[in-house]
A and B are shown apart, each in its own frame.
Chain A
Amino acid sequence: MEVSLRHLKRPEESALDVSRRLQKRPRWGEGFIQAFLFFCGAVSILTTIGIVYELGKEALLFFQMPGVTLLEFFTKTEWQPTVGRFGVLPLVSATLVTTVIAMMVAVPFGLGAAIYLSEYASEKARKVLKPALEVLAGIPTVVYGYFALTTVTPFLRIFFGDAINIYNMLSAGLTMGIMIIPLVASVSEDALHSVPNALREGAYAMGATRLETSLQVVVPAALSGIIAGFILGFSRAIGETMIVAIAAGAGPNFTFNPLKAAETMTGYIARISGGDVAYDTPDYNSIFAIGLLLFGISLVLNIISRRISARLREVYE
């Protein structure tokens, strides 16, 4: 023992040596890495700025066109840019209807799956089910689109008969909901899983059942994270394009009846940008205005989501 201690002893140094050793020295590698990491972060920010700039520039062109006013854009219920009708509400209503239907599927099933995975499933079941759920998230949305059109719609026809259009918002919304389940489930499950076990033990020790513990202690404690998951799912649904483009309909229609065909904001953008519409026509320019509106809605939802997530950290500990 004494031998090794002698080896560990710092050799005697003069005051001059010490002060020389303490001298600040340049670390070029450190600076380079810092710059590189900053660049990585900057890329996504610059891209976002670029997109906003481009959307804004083109949307401005749209709003400068003769006959287009902001008031009409936000209040009128007819969208036919070719013939000078610029009310965006039919597209917004279709987006709203499909999104709400999707959330009505994704919230209960996603949260249910999350509670099952976090609170009920054995370690073995978790190991199988979580990846299985994530596979659902890996299916391309175009596949979901045709699933909606060729499976869900015929299925719905059994119940609604001819009252339901071939293209309809219900089918698209339901399918979108199924698509979002893994997202909601995964985020909610993370939130539930991060609730300290001590809280569960505290509840069980008071004679609570598993259900009472899950629903009345763990879920409330994880609520902020769960709501953040809902909002993430919500913005995913609003932005979803392929499913609604295929299954919801290809013509603006101001209706809140989910059995009818109607085109969403994203569906409209996809149809116009995929078609052969000439540059600088109202149709072409309008997709940027709608894109900007979508961006705005998503941005607001994300800010809300972040606020709520930030509050999560204060809930316990």
Chain B
Amino acid sequence: MSEQNLSNHFAIETRNLNLFYGNFRAVKDVNLQIVPRKITAIIGPSGCGKSTVLRSFNRMNDFVPGFHMEGEILFHGKNLYAPDVDPVQVRQYIGMVFQKPNPFPKSIYENVAWGARINGYKGNMDELVEGALRAAALWDEVKDNLKKSGLSLSGGQQQRLCIARALAVKPEIILMDEPCSALDPIATLKIEDLMRELSENYTIIIVTHNMQQAARASDYTAFFTMDEDRAGVMVEYGETSQIFTNPRDKRTEDYITGRFG
């Protein structure tokens, strides 16, 4: 990847990132620079640590017993793992959408309003909810049923509700951990279109198993695999078109052509 393609300010930058579960090193020496307001896909075979890397960006791994990290994850020049950083505050800047839609067992309205409320939002809640639902391309489908349970929606709608919920907190970055793996192809395409729209205002990092999805929907792609001691390593990172048409590493080529993984 040529340096001039990247702006000077990265949305997130990792420096010699090593992630551990107990004594097991799950991720080894990752140096990754995420470009703001672009979609970055992380691909790779199962167990290569891509989700672990993603979840380290908003400190979700803090809940895993035995997890610890070495190196730095820089966000606006600040190491997110510095001892004086509050993980709760980190997650207000860096939102997340999960593999399986996980709306709260509350009304559609409350699903969106809750996060804003706990973060001290004082403005017009109706407007915020409508704005978030519109931004998540869900408003027209639910505007007459805002009081209905979030769980009454279809899987694809639930996932867009989860995106709306994340947007209502006004994050800078949205992490997506295989957000379409539980969805049918039509719902998947809707989410991909939505990602494209959202990338005008947000930085999106998506972990996906689906190589077509990475090729279709992302601007940059990072390919991870496992090395000999089963630690995840980043093999190659660059513009998506380059990774998929002209990979530099043999392992990347094998993976994207389906010979491995």
Q: Which residues of A contact B (CB under 8 A)?
A: 123, 196, 198-199, 201-209, 212, 216-217, 220-221, 315-317
Contacts and interface: CB of A to CB of B under 8 A. Distances in A.
A196 B102 contact: yes
A209 B103 CA distance: 18
B95 A212 contact: no
Interface stretch (B85-93, B196-204, B252-260): B85-93
Contacts of A204: 60, 63, 91
B58 interface: yes
B115 interface: yes
16 contacts: A196-B102, A198-B102, A202-B162, A202-B165, A205-B98, A205-B166, A206-B119, A206-B165, A207-B91, A207-B119, A207-B169, A216-B114, A217-B114, A221-B104, A316-B105, A317-B151
Interface of B: 58, 60, 63, 65, 88-89, 91-92, 95-96, 98, 100, 102-106, 114-115, 118-119, 151, 162, 165-166, 169
B96 A205 contact: yes
Contacts of B100: 198
A38 to B, nearest CB: 37
Contacts of A208: 88, 91, 115, 118
B104 A207 contact: no
Nearest to A207: B92
Contacts of B103: 202
A205 B104 contact: no
A267 B95 CA distance: 58
Contact of A216 (B102, B118, B151, B165): B118
Nearest to A195: B105
The 8 closest A-B pairs by CB, nearest first: A207-B92, A206-B115, A205-B96, A198-B102, A207-B91, A202-B102, A221-B105, A315-B105
A123 B66 CA distance: 12
A207 B89 contact: yes
A316 B169 contact: no
Contacts of A209: 88, 118
Given A198-B100, A199-B105, A204-B63, 16 more contacts: A198-B98, A202-B102, A202-B162, A202-B165, A205-B60, A206-B115, A206-B118, A206-B119, A206-B169, A207-B89, A207-B92, A207-B118, A207-B119, A221-B104, A221-B105, A315-B151
Contacts of A217: 104, 114
Contacts of B165: 202, 206
Contacts of B102: 196, 198-199, 201-202
Contacts of B92: 206-207
Contact of A220 (B89, B106, B151, B169): B106
A201 B60 contact: yes
Contacts of B119: 206-207
A203 B58 CA distance: 13
Contacts of A206: 91-92, 95, 114-115, 118-119, 165-166, 169
B114 to A, nearest CB: 7
Contacts of B60: 201, 204-205
A303 B169 CA distance: 42
B214 to A, nearest CB: 22
B63 A207 contact: no
- Residue in A196, A207, A216, A315 with the greatest tally of chain B CB atoms within 10 Å: A207
